[in-house]
Structure 1
């Protein structure tokens, strides 16, 4: 599992050094706060304000086992219960006399209870009997030193304030973990593995489930065949306030994360909204790292996406936003070894692509494509080695390309857009206020002393800067 701390600590260090504004990794929580943050971010960029920050370089994934919160009185029999493969559901569920099945255990749960599963293989189960509370969530977790395996079916969560921690789910032909219905809210899947499934997704949030956090998990090998999509995580209509944080997702026959609309293999409902995708590592899926369709109010921040090549079912987009998606911010991501870095398509509106590093492209070697849609901005990105840095299609409207670095690009900007104040090195210049010169980028894509990028960009996308003016590109030198 990929700890979000690897990515967010790099971001925080860069932001702190610049005294800029950014995230502390916690992410917005409340039903209004997240929407306001996203709306403000887009409004600020289009209106000439916003935060500054850095982009992580590709880190080496390290295992992460987030520590579940301990009950206040861990030996209190009213709080702690056990499940073991040699237990009996007629037992009281104590350490000495554990229950046998997770299904029985969750039906006995009460707010504040912590249920510990010892090692071994268990059948799937449904959580539909009792809610936890904000003050006393119910925790279902691996016992210390154990990795319980849930095999052959779905862990279905229909109730509120449940936290699943340290499980390994091998669902076979079924979905892995599903938070479903409006009764499933403020749930958590943390520090777990979901793997080797052949249904449409590994993890789903759907039918009005809301305020769900999916954090620090590894989700892999959700596969339905060479030409059939299967995704790591799917966010479906009516879902609100979902956070996808610090996961490692890879090797799926579709996308790592997909936010989907009705008539797209999903039930009818309102667009999913207020989605935060932050600090994740995505790689080796057959289609995309992140695919946003019809969803609203989405922030895709501080992720590492690599290895998205053309396939039988994809043009190799790392991040794609289309089919009516709107109010989306793509910022501070590190994208490499992708055919197309960031792409917008049919009906994508109010899209901001800023502070991303797109490098080592493959196949088509396109940094950013703006397709059919309106009010689309590429600002303060660093694009290295692309055949086309920013490609604006004829159907795109209201596109602005400003304060970017184009280094070693065969074509910098193609198509019709407002193009001003960009830095070009080994790339053809375009637009007004063009600056040519060596950005002298270091291994982390930060400009070195003497760089042509320093203090030469147009103000408007930074709350504060290091020098007399902002730097070109994704990362301020500080």
Structure 2
């Protein structure tokens, strides 16, 4: 008998017992989703089954990929980087399959943080001091993808004066995608460079995106004077860098040691309009020893509609929010908890309403801040202090502020999805 795991992934139709009768009574039966597999022991000439997996994540999304909306490509434990193509581990480009509303294509680690995505350090045949080199782990220009559960790093020291580095690059065309439960860290920390292009955990251009339950830390190049580095750059590198997006939601993430820029920067060079921005239930920690840049969330350009709620800001320089050449309307910053202030400057910001923020808290009561464990203890002032307006409900109907809901039992699991939140 054939071993089921050796069969090619397939979609099984409902068994027929009188095909005409079933068609009339039930209508056409939708195909079921399939799962394909990648492992370091695989080969891209394989069929992508569990017993005969592919070798590279790129195979999941190459031209001619068998994946369709609703399918999954599961990446086994191990380290993956680019092959001969150079700058990106997986390019989800124009010839890649597209997901559909309610049927995204999911690229996920088989085990949380078990699959390591190593962002390339060079692009064969290209001089990154002459030609633009956008390095990234995942580069996405197709709609309705889910990227889930990866460890994404870029430990190398090479940058190039015309290079940028992004853990995940969500470009135009990636609408409807979700990035969840990844750990993005040590991206660019060994780089000494005056390059004007940024280093980020995620670069975001498209719309209708969700960034949730990720952990961002140790992102950005060396400072001037650090490890004998000489540079004029100190604020170009960010956790999430969003450029004129529409319907972007950033929720239940943790950001720390991101102080060569901002944990979240809403800005587009040359100007742009951001619409319906939602930043809620995140935890931010840390600041630069130089005092620059200030703040945890930079708001710039034109922003029409934003909700910044139920976030914890720990040890920011100056405050949570800093504006920069901002034209705003219907921006609400409320029910956030900070051990400093709600904003870097006390000057009022037209179009931005600050209310019900808890400022200058003396003890945020994390389980172990020095070890970057930002779960709440029973003494935390964040417990039951969040708003329920404009955010998904939690089990007890009383949201805590920050990325984590308080639990009597300490857990190493990622921030929990609130009840009533749709998972695609």
TM-score by length of 2: 0.61
State the secondary structure of the residue aligned to 2:222: coil
Partner of 1:405: none
Give the total of aligned pairs.
Answer: 280
The separation in 2 between residues aligned to 1:281 and 1:91, in whole angstroms, is 43
Partner of 1:300: 308
Partner of 1:456: none
State the secondary structure of the residue aligned to 1:103: helix
> Closer, same or farther in 2 for the Cα pair 1:272/1:72, shift >3 Å?
farther
The separation in 2 between residues aligned to 1:290 and 1:122, in whole angstroms, is 32
Aligned: 1:331 with 2:334? yes
> Closer, same or farther in 2 for the Cα pair 1:240/1:346, shift >3 Å?
farther
Instruction: Give the one of 145, 156, 165 matched to 1:162.
Output: 145
Partner of 1:177: 168
Whether the aligned pair in 1 keeps the contact of 2:334 and 2:355 (CA below 8 Å) is yes
Partner of 1:96: 51
The separation in 2 between residues aligned to 1:259 and 1:145, in whole angstroms, is 29
Q: CA RMSD in A?
A: 2.8
The separation in 2 between residues aligned to 1:86 and 1:116, in whole angstroms, is 14
Partner of 1:261: 268
The separation in 2 between residues aligned to 1:334 and 1:72, in whole angstroms, is 49
Aligned: 1:118 with 2:76? yes
State the secondary structure of the residue aligned to 1:131: coil
Whether the aligned pair in 1 keeps the contact of 2:319 and 2:338 (CA below 8 Å) is no
Whether the aligned pair in 2 keeps the contact of 1:282 and 1:305 (CA below 8 Å) is yes
State the secondary structure of the residue aligned to 1:210: coil
State the secondary structure of the residue aligned to 1:104: helix
The separation in 2 between residues aligned to 1:353 and 1:248, in whole angstroms, is 22
- TM-superposition CA deviations, 1:287-321 (whole Å, max 9, x none): 32111112411211000001113xxxxxx332113
State the secondary structure of the residue aligned to 2:353: strand
State the secondary structure of the residue aligned to 1:242: strand
State the secondary structure of the residue aligned to 2:342: strand
Partner of 1:137: 104
> Closer, same or farther in 2 for the Cα pair 1:126/1:347, shift >3 Å?
farther
Whether the aligned pair in 2 keeps the contact of 1:324 and 1:347 (CA below 8 Å) is no
The separation in 1 between residues aligned to 2:239 and 2:352, in whole angstroms, is 24
State the secondary structure of the residue aligned to 1:358: coil
Structure 1 segments, 4+ long, off by >3 Å, are 343-348, 442-446
Per the TM alignment, residue 346 of structure 1 is displaced from its structure 2 partner at its CA by 9.0
State the secondary structure of the residue aligned to 1:202: strand
Larger RCO: 1 or 2 (CA < 8 Å, sep 6+)? 1
The separation in 2 between residues aligned to 1:443 and 1:136, in whole angstroms, is 39
Whether the aligned pair in 1 keeps the contact of 2:176 and 2:207 (CA below 8 Å) is yes
The separation in 1 between residues aligned to 2:382 and 2:179, in whole angstroms, is 34
The separation in 2 between residues aligned to 1:145 and 1:232, in whole angstroms, is 20
The separation in 2 between residues aligned to 1:196 and 1:146, in whole angstroms, is 14
State the secondary structure of the residue aligned to 2:44: coil
Whether the aligned pair in 2 keeps the contact of 1:234 and 1:260 (CA below 8 Å) is yes
Matches within 5 A, 1:30-429: 79-107=34-62, 108=65, 109-123=67-81, 124-128=89-93, 129-144=96-111, 147-153=114-120, 154=136, 155-172=138-155, 173=159, 174-181=165-172, 183-198=173-188, 199-206=198-205, 209-226=206-223, 227-229=233-235, 230-237=237-244, 239-252=245-258, 253-263=260-270, 270-286=272-288, 287=293, 288-296=295-303, 297-309=305-317, 316-327=318-329, 328-336=331-339, 338=340, 340-343=341-344, 348-360=349-361
Per the TM alignment, residue 445 of structure 1 is displaced from its structure 2 partner at its CA by 8.7
Partner of 1:444: 381
Whether the aligned pair in 1 keeps the contact of 2:342 and 2:357 (CA below 8 Å) is no
The separation in 1 between residues aligned to 2:263 and 2:250, in whole angstroms, is 11
The separation in 1 between residues aligned to 2:144 and 2:45, in whole angstroms, is 26
Unpaired runs of 5+ residues, structure 1, are 1-70, 310-315, 363-441, 447-461, 463-473
State the secondary structure of the residue aligned to 1:359: coil
The separation in 2 between residues aligned to 1:295 and 1:256, in whole angstroms, is 19
> Closer, same or farther in 2 for the Cα pair 1:255/1:145, shift >3 Å?
closer
The separation in 1 between residues aligned to 2:33 and 2:346, in whole angstroms, is 54
- TM-superposition CA deviations, 1:27-74 (whole Å, max 9, x none): xxxxxxxxxxxxxxxxxxxxxxxxxxxxxxxxxxxxxxxxxxxx998x
State the secondary structure of the residue aligned to 1:308: coil
Per the TM alignment, residue 137 of structure 1 is displaced from its structure 2 partner at its CA by 0.8
Per the TM alignment, residue 144 of structure 1 is displaced from its structure 2 partner at its CA by 3.8
Whether the aligned pair in 1 keeps the contact of 2:71 and 2:104 (CA below 8 Å) is yes
